[in-house]
Structure 1
Amino acid sequence: MRVFISGYYGFGNLGDEMLLDALRALLIEYGFRRDELVVLSASPKETEREHALSSFKRGNLLRLFAEIKRGDLLISGPGGLFQDSTGPWSPAFYASHAFLALLKGAKVLIYGQSLGPIKRRVNLLLVRFLLSKASLVVLRDESMSDMVPRNKLLFTPDPAFILSVGEVSGLRDGIGIVFRRWKWDLESLLRVLVKMGFPLTLISFQAEREREDGIRLSKMYGLPFLTPSNWAEALRVLSTFKLVIGMRLHSLIMSAMTFTPFIGISYDPKVRSLCELLKMPFLESPRETFAFSGYIRDIMIKWDRKSEGLKCEVEILREKVRSVFTRSLNLLLGREA
Structure 2
Amino acid sequence: MSDIVVSGYYGFANAGDEAMLAAMIEALTDIEPNIKITVISGNPEDTRQRHGVAAIYRLNYPEIAKVLAQSQLLISGGGSLLQDVTSDRSLYYYLSIMMLAKKLGKPVMLYAQGIGPVRGYLAQGAMRYIGNMVDLITVRDEGSYEELKRLKVTAPPVHITADPVLAMHPVDKTIGRSILKKHGQEGVAPLIGISVREWKDWGHFKQVMGHAADKMIEELGAKVVFIPMQWPDDLGVSEKIAGRMKNKASVLPSEYTTSELLSLVGNLDLLIGIRLHALIFAAVMHVPMAGISYDPKIDRFLETIGEKHVGTLKTVTADNLMARIREMWDERKQPNREREDRITALRNKAFLNAELALSLVKK
Q: Which moved more, 1:152-161 or 1:288-297?
A: 288-297
Equivalent position amino acid for 1:224 in 2: S
CA displacement, residues 240-272 of structure 1 (integer Å, 9 cap, x when unaligned): 222111111110010011111111111111111
- For 1:81, the aligned partner's letter is L
Q: Secondary structure at the match of 2:307?
A: coil
Deviations 1:41-85 (A, max 9, x none): 000011101111011101111211223227621100011101122
Deviation of the 1:199 alpha carbon: 2.7
CA offsets per residue over residues 152-199 of structure 1, 9 Å max, x none?
Answer: 211111111121212358977232110011145222232133134243
Higher relative contact order (CA closer than 8 Å, sequence separation 6+): 2
Structure 1 unaligned spans of 5+ = none
Q: Normalising to structure 2: TM-score of the pair?
A: 0.84
Find the counterpart in structure 2 of residue 320 from structure 1: 349
Closer/same/farther in 2, CA of residues 324 and 27 from structure 1, 3 Å limit: closer
The 1:219–1:324 alpha-carbon spacing in structure 2 relative to 1, beyond 3 Å, is closer
Question: Is there any run of 5+ residues in structure 2 with no aligned partner, and where?
Answer: 178-187
Equivalent in 251, 265, 268 of residue 295 of structure 2:
268
- CA contact under 8 A between 2:210 and 2:244: conserved in structure 1? no
Paired residues in the alignment total: 333
Aligned to 1:210: 234
State the 1:228 CA deviation.
Answer: 4.7
Change in 2 beyond 3 A, CA 1:130/1:32: farther
Alpha-carbon distance change, 71 to 203 in structure 1, aligned in 2, over 3 angstroms: closer
Deviation track 1:79-137 (CA, whole Å, cap 9, x = no partner) reads 11011222231100111111000000011001111011223221121112221111111
Report if the CA contact (8 A) 1:168-1:258 is conserved. Answer: no
Q: Structure 2 CA distance, aligned partners of 1:82 and 1:284?
A: 25
Quick check: 1:193 aligned with 2:213?
yes
> Is 2:209 aligned against 1:182?
no
Q: Is the 8 A contact 1:155 1:324 kept in 2?
A: no
Q: Where does 1:102-121 land on structure 2 (aligned, <5 Å)?
A: 102-121=102-121
Deviates further, 300-309 or 72-81: 300-309
Cα separation, partners in 2 of 1:101 and 1:176, compared to 1, 3 Å = same
The correspondence for 2:324, drawn from 292, 295, 299, is: 295
Mark the CA change 1:266 to 1:84 in structure 2 (over 3 Å): closer, same or farther: same
Looking at structure 2, the residues matched to 267 and 239 of structure 1 have their Cα atoms a distance apart, in angstroms, of 24
- Hey, what does 2:142 align to over in structure 1? 142
Tell me, in whole angstroms, the C-alpha distance in 2 between the residues paired with 1:27 and 1:233: 21
Is 2:301 the partner of 1:281?
Answer: no
Q: Is the 8 A contact 2:83 2:116 kept in 1?
A: yes
* CA–CA distance in structure 2, aligned partners of residues 122 and 306 of structure 1: 47
1:325 is displaced (CA, Å) by 3.1
Residue 3 of structure 1 aligns with which residue?
Answer: 4
Q: Which amino acid aligns with 1:217?
A: I
The question of whether the paired residues in 2 share the 8 Å contact of 1:7 and 1:77 is answered with: yes
Q: Is the 8 A contact 2:73 2:361 kept in 1?
A: no
Paired residues of 2:24 and 2:354 also in contact (CA < 8 A): no
Task: State the alpha-carbon separation in 2 of the partners of residues 261 and 121 from structure 1.
Answer: 40
Structure-2 change in CA distance of 1:192 and 1:239 (3 Å): same
Residue pair 1:70, 1:105 contacting (<8 A) in 2 also: no
User: By how many angstroms is 1:314 displaced?
Assistant: 2.9
Cα 1:100/1:306, change in 2 over 3 Å: same
Residue 32 of structure 2 is matched in structure 1 by: 31
Q: Which residue of 2 aligns with 1:13?
A: 14
CA distance in 2, matches of 1:19, 1:296: 28
Identity rate, percent: 27
Question: Contact conserved, 1:22 with 1:159, CA < 8 A, in 2?
Answer: yes
2:183 maps to: none
Q: Residues 243-254 of structure 1: matches in 2 within 5 Å?
A: 243-254=270-281
Moved more, 205-214 or 157-166: 205-214
Q: Is the 8 A contact 1:40 1:57 kept in 2?
A: yes
Q: Distance in 1 between matches of 2:356 and 2:48?
A: 28
State TM-score, norm by structure 1. Answer: 0.90
The 2-side partners of 1:16 and 1:96 are apart by 20
How many angstroms apart in 2 are the aligned matches of 1:50 and 1:71? 22
Q: Displacement, 1:331?
A: 5.3
